[in-house]
Amino acid sequence: MVSEPSSEHNDQPRKPTTLKEMTTMKRETNSLGDITLKAVVVHTVTYFLVGLLAMTLFHYEDQFNEGILGELMRSIDDPVVAAGPLVQPLRGALFGLVFYLLREPVFNRRDGWLRAWATLVIVGIIAPFGPAPGSIEGLIYTTLPISTQLSGGMLEVLLQSLLLSTLLFYWVKHPQKTWLNWTLGIAFTLSLLLPILGLLAAGLT
């Protein structure tokens, strides 16, 4: 006699096999809520990690306390700066809304990550409406030296936007990756928890 397969082996989620099931799954993973939530998590995590790396490599503590940047930027030990990661979920939600509006050319093409990154770089870094440092308008209308505008800060935003685009693209395209869900979820929690603990510790001293 051939025994029936154990029920414990049937608990794994069944992969979609029909065109209707695959279309339904695609709609669910490309929904406004799904894309926005993932954009919130990915942006917050990459912002925190890349910012920490850049602060260490480019010695922001010295730069923000000297010269023209000392008059423009807050010190990195300012409580407002320390709370910066806590408002990143809001920015991530705005990015998610934009990515949702662009979901067809971004998440339905193999080069979607590149399209997303190009959009962020062109609209958000090189050609924003205001004279942000490192942008075309910033180079024209601000008195910041070109070397300052195109230094570590520019590398930081280029790297972070690249990681945001590629990681979000991969996550949306592979929603079944449980390890990725857990990894990013834990990293997101730590990205918010560590600044909170830092602010609490500073308030007690």
Q: Residues 173-188: pLDDT tens digits?
A: 999 999 999 999 999 9
**6 in a structural domain:** no
> Would you call 155 helix, strand, or coil by DSSP?
helix
**2 in a structural domain:** no
Cα separation, 163 vs 47, whole angstroms: 9
**8 in a structural domain:** no
* 140, HSE (Cβ side, Cα atoms, 13 Å): 9
Cα separation, 69 vs 50, whole angstroms: 20
Give the chain's domain count: 1
Q: For residue 36, what are the domain limits?
A: 30-204
154, two tokens: 């520019």
* Strand segments (E) across the chain: none
Range with the poorest average pLDDT among 12-26, 57-71, 151-165: 12-26
> Would you call 144 helix, strand, or coil by DSSP?
coil
Residue 7 is predicted with a pLDDT of 46
**172 in a structural domain:** yes
**53 in a structural domain:** yes
Range with the poorest average pLDDT among 36-40, 67-71, 144-148: 67-71
Cα separation, 24 vs 19, whole angstroms: 9
**81 in a structural domain:** yes
> In 3D, which of 163, 154, 179 has the Cα closest to residue 58?
154
Instruction: Indicate the pLDDT class of residue 22, thresholds 50, 70 and 90.
Output: low
